Amino acid sequence: MRPEILFPLFRAVTALKGIGGRTSAHLARIGIVRVSDLLWHLPVGLVDRSYEPEIAMAENGSVATLTVFITGHSPSTPNSKKPYRVQATDNSGDLDLVFFKGQRDYLMEMLPPGTTRIVSGKVEWFNGRLQMSHPDYILAPDHRDRLPLIEPVYGLTAGLTSRSLGRAVDMVLADLPELPEWHDPDSLARQQWPAWGAALIRLHHPEDKGDLSIDSPSRTRLAYDELLANQLALALVRERMRRRKGQSVKGDGRLQARVRAVLPFPLTGAQERAIVDVIADMADPAAMLRLLQGDVGSGKTLVALFAMLAAVEAGGQAAILAPTEILARQHLESLKSYCEAAGVTIGLLTGRDKGKARERILADLAAGNIQILVGTHALFEHDVLFQNLLLAVIDEQHRFGVHQRLKLAGKGQGPVDMLVMTATPIPRTLALTAYGDMDVSKLDEKPPGRQPIDTRTVSAQRFEDVVAGVGRAVGQGQQVYWVCPLVEESETIDLAAATERKADLEQRLGLPVGLIHGRMKGPDKDAAMAAFAAGETRLLVATTVIEVGVNVPNATIMVIEHSERFGLAQLHQLRGRVGRGTGKSSCILIYSGPLGETSKARLAIMRETEDGFRIAEEDMRLRGAGELLGTQQSGLPEFRLADLAHHGDLLAMARDDARAVIEADPELKSPRGQALRVLLYLFERDAAIRYLQSG
Ligand code: ADP
Ligand code: MG
């Protein structure tokens, strides 16, 4: 349970005085729902009001605070577009205060002629007179202390002013709970980091520009808090996995030998090395948690197969989990013949299996009649029970969260060995935040005979040429993927674009064109995919559902419209759909110009390299970590205070810190351990704490 001390921070913002439904709706649009969200919403700049020149000396365009004597009002006449002006002076010169749609009564009260006022705002010279439009502050001299000399500026959305946001933040800051210090006092002193509350106050009330820098002590401290919560949670889960006494899963190699005998090709060196790693982990009494990273087409499925065979040899079962129905079916297809050769029974369970069919599968599974199960999310259901699950393989791991991983791990009689696979090459720093200190095997070698993919960028103005080229290629017996624009917000628009493109291409080329998209029903998707795989349709228009894993070796051309809208990782994934057979493949990236520098650089990287890891690093460098992943790819944590492109060193430090904590105080019982629990709750990494209590 969340510690009581954090309750105030987890209230909805509407609990704050002066924040009602309207404001909270505006706030929600920039991701501020709870009180803590306000705290994480740091200023993006500041206004310095300490510049107090005489009127005559005021610098054009500056923000100035002026003490002036009000001399007169020139209200705007009705129907005139002229603004309302208030004249003021000091000994040095004249100032016009300008108000568009100014209300006379209000202005008379704020700026009575014959009085002295302090005004603060941006000033400009205009026809020899100094002007200030809509001053930010108008104060009587005895209210001078109400003028903030330095004022934070927040990232905003329509309907919110920086000042109203600042007021809300101040309410929270005024009542900040006093949280126990979770950092080691020595390192705190060494880094010269402020306490948590002091850091927040300093960031929301910066004293100078340096405070806003991403490397300021306050910002660094909060970023470190967040990273430490992340690393500690991962370390706890890992520790928990490790502590549940594993079992030694040792196959005798008999089934693996049978599959080797029928493999049409030798395994690559990288595959062999990965298999050795995995088999050794499984044989080890501790539970396995290994990440298999390999670019698209590097042959991860076979590594998984050998691991699963070892589990079956040891008298148990194995499951392989895929993020989509298409992928699950494809795994089944590619594994079936090998399993037959080995005399191993393989089954499939997806959300589409219902009623009697599903019951039969569940019964076979529970009885051990299915030895290897391929499945989708449907595997997580409570009534999916195995006779003796020894190994779980998770394909395209980034589509699943830690909790799902653990759910699957819980389906064994004893501890289940876990092999997670990903083809989304992610930069080292991100891998660390997503997986923590996992053991990693890399497939850094492609199966032989693959030819490089010829990648070209083509302006949309040359669309006709592309279509003609595709027509020629299809005429020569090649197969083509055609990926339609990604429109983030709306699946419906994606769909409309894809449907239209299909009709358009059919008409232009006089060929049957297949279509596959995310809204299609499962059987229709399979049918479209099967028709393409069988070569019945030679051209397949798709939205990004073909992104992961799909394998049609005869497809040699990938056309991507509006390629500038895709993330590089996604482009890389899509491109990986071709170049899987022996034929020469190409990828045509159509872009709609004019392109900015970053977009140009990004597409240039695609032309330059097929190394997914390099692409991922470059993408992160060009776009920053947050952009790179987007919100779609669940399973990867998002950070509010840390910026991975900047705080890579902090992350490594957090990893070491987390490791040391768990070693010294695995149950988080010491005073620092208790404080760290609060930290985990603060950043909602508390799922990890449950593993403490249940262990
Ligand atoms: P991914 O790593 O993207 O999941 P797959 O496991 O789907 O890759 O393998 C891609 C293709 O490469 C499959 O058609 C598979 O049969 C083939 N393949 C795998 N290993 C080898 C190998 N050692 N030599 C030749 N082809 C291989
Ligand atoms: Mg795969």
String of DSSP letters for 97-150: EEETT--HHHHHHHS-TTSEEEEEEEEEEETTEEEEES-SEEE-GGGGGGS-SE
Residues 6+ apart with CB under 8 A from 80: none
Contact 295, 424 (CB under 8 A): no
Q: Does 327 sit in the ligand 1 pocket, CB within 6 Å?
A: no
The reported pLDDT for the residue numbered 518 is: 74
Ligand 1 pocket test: which of 268, 301, 394 has the largest number of ligand atoms within 8 Å of its C-beta? 301
Minimum mean pLDDT range among 66-70, 249-253, 640-644, 684-688 = 684-688
DSSP code, position 397: G
In this predicted structure, the answer to whether residue 398 has a pLDDT above a threshold of 70 is no
Beta-strand relationship, 129-133 and 94-99: parallel
Name the nearest CA neighbour of 555 among 572, 534, 526. 534
Place of tokens 């989509």: 324
- Write the pLDDT tens digit of every residue in 358-379: 999 999 999 999 999 999 999 9
Contact 315, 282 (CB under 8 A): no
The reported pLDDT for the residue numbered 647 is: 85
Which atom of ligand 1 is the closest one to the Cα of 449? Answer: 25
Angle among Cα 577, 578, 583 to the nearest 5 degrees reads: 155
528 CA distance to ligand 2 middle (Å): 20
In this predicted structure, the answer to whether residue 39 has a pLDDT above a threshold of 90 is yes
In this predicted structure, the answer to whether residue 27 has a pLDDT above a threshold of 50 is yes
Q: Does 573 sit in the ligand 1 pocket, CB within 6 Å?
A: no
Q: Where in the chain is the domain with CATH 2.40.50.140?
A: 50-147
In this predicted structure, the answer to whether residue 327 has a pLDDT above a threshold of 90 is no
Alpha carbon dihedral 685, 687, 688, 692, in 10-degree steps, equals: 140
Residue type, position 600, single letter: K
Which atom of ligand 1 is the closest one to the Cα of 549? Answer: 3
Q: Does 302 sit in the ligand 1 pocket, CB within 6 Å?
A: yes
DSSP code, position 288: P
Which atom of ligand 1 is the closest one to the Cα of 265? Answer: 24
| Ligand positioned closest to the Cα atom of 445 | 1
Contact 271, 299 (CB under 8 A): yes
334 CA distance to ligand 2 middle (Å): 10
Q: Does 299 sit in the ligand 1 pocket, CB within 6 Å?
A: yes
More confident residue, 286 or 607: 607
The first and second tokens of residue 509, run together, are 């080329």
Q: Does 268 sit in the ligand 1 pocket, CB within 6 Å?
A: yes
Q: Does 271 sit in the ligand 1 pocket, CB within 6 Å?
A: yes
Average pLDDT of the segment spanning 191-212: 93
612 CA distance to ligand 1 middle (Å): 16
Q: Does 152 sit in the ligand 1 pocket, CB within 6 Å?
A: no
Ligand 1 pocket test: which of 262, 263, 265 has the largest number of ligand atoms within 8 Å of its C-beta? 265
Residue 18: phi, psi to the nearest 5? 85, 0
| Ligand positioned closest to the Cα atom of 297 | 1
Is residue 65 helix, strand or coil? strand
Q: Where in the chain is the domain with CATH 3.40.50.300?
A: 254-443, 453-609
Residue type, position 91, single letter: N
Contact 503, 477 (CB under 8 A): no
Residue whose CA is at the smallest distance from ligand 1 atom 15: 299
The reported pLDDT for the residue numbered 407 is: 79
Among positive and negative, which fits the CA dihedral 401, 402, 405, 410?
Answer: negative
Separation of alpha carbons 414 and 436, rounded Å: 24
Separation of alpha carbons 286 and 205, rounded Å: 50
More confident residue, 552 or 671: 671
Q: Does 297 sit in the ligand 1 pocket, CB within 6 Å?
A: yes
301 CA distance to ligand 1 middle (Å): 7
Residues with CB under 5 A from ligand 2 (ion): 549
The reported pLDDT for the residue numbered 401 is: 66
In this predicted structure, the answer to whether residue 273 has a pLDDT above a threshold of 50 is yes
Residue whose CA is at the smallest distance from ligand 1 atom 18: 299
Among positive and negative, which fits the CA dihedral 529, 534, 535, 537?
Answer: negative
Q: Does 263 sit in the ligand 1 pocket, CB within 6 Å?
A: no
What pairs with residue 152 in β-bridges? 46
Q: What percent of the chain has pLDDT over 90?
A: 57
**Phi/psi-derived region of residue 475, left when phi > 0, alpha when psi is between -120 and 50, beta in every other case:** alpha
CATH of 50-147, one of 2.40.50.140, 1.10.10.10, 3.50.50.60, 3.60.15.10: 2.40.50.140
Minimum mean pLDDT range among 581-595, 617-631, 645-659 = 617-631
Which atom of ligand 1 is the closest one to the Cα of 330? Answer: 7
The first and second tokens of residue 422, run together, are 């990903």
Q: Does 265 sit in the ligand 1 pocket, CB within 6 Å?
A: yes
Which atom of ligand 1 is the closest one to the Cα of 553? Answer: 14
Average pLDDT of the segment spanning 460-466: 94
| Ligand positioned closest to the Cα atom of 450 | 1
110 CA distance to ligand 2 middle (Å): 69
Q: How far is CA 514 from CA 77, 293, 467, 541, 560, in A?
A: 67, 32, 16, 6, 16
Residue 432: phi, psi to the nearest 5? -65, -40
In this predicted structure, the answer to whether residue 445 has a pLDDT above a threshold of 90 is no
What pairs with residue 12 in β-bridges? 34
What pairs with residue 480 in β-bridges? 539, 557
Q: Does 447 sit in the ligand 1 pocket, CB within 6 Å?
A: yes
Q: Does 267 sit in the ligand 1 pocket, CB within 6 Å?
A: yes
Minimum mean pLDDT range among 46-50, 140-144, 489-493, 606-610 = 489-493
| Lateral strand order in the sheet of 513-516 | 454-459, 586-591, 555-560, 479-483, 539-542, 513-516
| Ligand positioned closest to the Cα atom of 576 | 1
The first and second tokens of residue 136, run together, are 């930010």
Separation of alpha carbons 516 and 528, rounded Å: 6
Residue whose CA is at the smallest distance from ligand 1 atom 27: 447
- Write the pLDDT tens digit of every residue in 539-571: 999 886 664 546 788 899 999 998 988 888 888
DSSP 412-458: SSS--EEEEEE-S---HHHHHHHH-S-EEEEE-SPPTTPPPPEEEEE
Q: Does 301 sit in the ligand 1 pocket, CB within 6 Å?
A: yes
In this predicted structure, the answer to whether residue 256 has a pLDDT above a threshold of 80 is yes
597 CA distance to ligand 1 middle (Å): 36
Q: Does 563 sit in the ligand 1 pocket, CB within 6 Å?
A: no
DSSP code, position 545: G
Residues 6+ apart with CB under 8 A from 667: 673, 692
Is residue 357 helix, strand or coil? helix
Name the nearest CA neighbour of 684 among 280, 298, 336, 401. 401
Separation of alpha carbons 162 and 152, rounded Å: 8
Q: What percent of the chain has pLDDT over 70?
A: 92
Separation of alpha carbons 139 and 117, rounded Å: 6
In residues, how long is the chain? Answer: 695
Q: Does 580 sit in the ligand 1 pocket, CB within 6 Å?
A: yes
Q: How far is CA 340 from CA 3, 262, 310, in A?
A: 55, 11, 16
| Ligand positioned closest to the Cα atom of 396 | 2
Which atom of ligand 1 is the closest one to the Cα of 580? Answer: 11
The reported pLDDT for the residue numbered 399 is: 65
294 CA distance to ligand 1 middle (Å): 11
Which atom of ligand 1 is the closest one to the Cα of 296? Answer: 3
Residue whose CA is at the smallest distance from ligand 1 atom 11: 297
CATH of 453-609, one of 3.40.50.300, 3.10.20.30, 3.30.70.2190, 3.40.50.12280: 3.40.50.300
299 CA distance to ligand 2 middle (Å): 7
Separation of alpha carbons 371 and 318, rounded Å: 6
In this predicted structure, the answer to whether residue 630 has a pLDDT above a threshold of 70 is no
Name the nearest CA neighbour of 364 among 378, 348, 342. 348
The first and second tokens of residue 590, run together, are 């159509």
| Ligand positioned closest to the Cα atom of 442 | 1
Which atom of ligand 1 is the closest one to the Cα of 294? Answer: 2
CATH assignment, 254-443: 3.40.50.300
Which atom of ligand 1 is the closest one to the Cα of 271? Answer: 23
In this predicted structure, the answer to whether residue 457 has a pLDDT above a threshold of 50 is yes
DSSP code, position 11: S
Among positive and negative, which fits the CA dihedral 22, 26, 28, 29?
Answer: positive
Q: Does 330 sit in the ligand 1 pocket, CB within 6 Å?
A: no
In this predicted structure, the answer to whether residue 574 has a pLDDT above a threshold of 70 is yes
The reported pLDDT for the residue numbered 596 is: 85
Average pLDDT of the segment spanning 581-588: 88
Beta-strand relationship, 116-126 and 129-133: antiparallel
Q: Does 333 sit in the ligand 1 pocket, CB within 6 Å?
A: no
The reported pLDDT for the residue numbered 481 is: 95
The reported pLDDT for the residue numbered 691 is: 64
Residue 358: phi, psi to the nearest 5? -65, -45
